[in-house]
Each structure stands twice: as C-alpha cells, then as structure tokens.
Amino acid sequence: MMERPPLRQLLDLSPSDFMWHPIWVGCDVTNIGPMIDLTDDELLVLFECFHRVCETGRIAASHHAEVVVIDKIAGQLERGLTEPFDPSYPQSLASARSRVLSAYRQRMGGHGWVEAVPLDQS
C-alpha cells in the first residue's frame, strides 16, 4: 500500500493534479465535492478548534481566528455547492445528516462520543 503524503502536500496540488494523484488509485473519487483552500496557519487553527471539540464535546470558539477560518470554509462551500439554493434543501440536509450519522454509528459501533455532545449550544 502506498504511504499517504502529508495533507499540506495534497492541498497544494491543483484540482486536476489532486484528482489524479497516485494516492487515489483504487478509490472512488467521483463524488469528492468542492475543494477547500486553507493556508498552513489556517489548518493549524482549524485543527486546534476541532481537536478541542473532540476532547471536550463542546462546540465553541476559543479565539477569533477560529471563527475567521470557519467563515472562510463556509464561504468556499457556499460558492461550491448548489444544494443550499435548491427548494428541497431542507429535505436534502435532513437526508445527508441521517446518512452521515448512520455511517458514523456503523463505523464506531457503541463507542462513539458525538451523540453525547449537547445540541443547540447557543
């Protein structure tokens, strides 16, 4: 099996080079979705934010830079996705959420932690 390159190396590739990188040999990449472009600093900030969420189960920013990076990702997704502008978006979102959680449950069995996270942490 091929050793996986560092994430930064993959993110620096052009979209076409990324799609044809040897790491994807044997993988189904027909539904890869929009590309997200982040700097090394933004990746580090995002990692810390996500790591903290995973460790504490609390979804909250601890630094304004985290909000900046999340906003940048949201903007890139908004430009790359068509579903949010479709009239059936609420149903599409509900179905996507169900599929994601179902796949997580299947992968984690009874050892998942995400369902213990309190929702609506406003």
Say which residue, 101 or 9, is predicted with more confidence: 101
Say which residue, 74 or 21, is predicted with more confidence: 74
Q: Among 19-23, 69-73, 91-95, whose mean pLDDT is lowest? A: 19-23
Residue type for 116, please?
Answer: A
Query: What average pLDDT score do residues 48-56 get?
Result: 89
Query: What average pLDDT score do residues 74-94 get?
Result: 92
**Using CA atoms, how far apart are residues 62 and 115, in angstroms rounded to an integer?**
22
Per domain, the residue ranges of the chain are: 7-22+32-82
Contacts 24+ apart (CB under 8 A), 53-62: 54/113, 57/113, 57/116, 57/117, 57/118, 58/117, 58/121, 59/117, 59/121, 60/121
**pLDDT at 71 > cutoff 70:** yes
Confidence of residue 21 (pLDDT cuts 50, 70, 90): low
